[in-house]
Amino acid sequence: MAQVSVPTPSSPAEIRETVQSILASDGLPPIVQVGHPALRQSAARYDGQLTDEELAALIGLMRRVMHNAPGVGLAAPQLGIPLQIAVAEDGFDVEPDIAGLRERAPLDFLVLLNPSYIAIGAGRAAFYEGCLSLNGLQAVVSRPDRVHLTYTTPEGTAMQAEYSGWQARIVQHETDHLHGTLYVDKAELRSLTTNEEYGLRWMAPDISRARHELGFLPD
């Protein structure tokens, strides 16, 4: 089998120039869409490529872009920046039955530098998932339902935390972005649906009907 060439991150100078250009632009930058090479790179570890002021400005901008989308997470590669930086926040109102079944609880604003995760136990949960870089589509992804996350704060503090339920799904999704992985790489492709079809047919607390009618994850 031929070896696949994996794109390498840009140089620190190029990364900083890209960030400076985005920060200097008027309005909010676009979220890059699938097919953009930044989404398929293993992003460079954050190692002081930006000044403290530039890093803070980028984090603030990413949070505004995430809210405007709207979404619950955004990774720097989604702005075309190959750096291991992601933000997450989930304050959406969710129907109690959905929140209970999906173990979806509010997630306070979180900034992740150089994150990585490992599963805790063998439990898994499968639900529909979307991405701001794949506009208009959703698919079911089975993920570990509990993870141990390690990351660094913008202040340089090494952190460890455990997440479960929907919060675990969010931090896995955003961490995957930083290593060139999109949710469709892990999805049950027979479940793939447009947002319109999801709203019409599959917007239920669980995936049982979609699994039966679309023919994925058989019992």
Of residues 50, 49, 32, the one with CA closest to residue 41? 32
Q: Please, what is the angle between helix 52-68 and helix 12-24, to 10°?
A: 60
Token match 């992804």: residue?
Answer: 141
Residues 6+ apart with CB under 8 A from 209: 201, 202
What is the spatial distance between Cα 206 and Cα 97, in angstroms, rounded to a whole number?
10
Instruction: Let me know: does 102 contact 166? Beta carbons within 8 Å.
Output: yes
Q: Is 174 a catalytic residue?
A: yes
Residues ≥6 apart with Cβ < 8 Å to 6: 41, 42, 180
Cβ(184)–Cβ(134) below 8 Å: yes
Per annotation, catalytic residue among 53, 129, 155, 174 = 174
Whether residue 77 is preceded by a cis peptide bond, meaning omega within 30 degrees of 0, is no
Residues annotated as part of the active site: 174
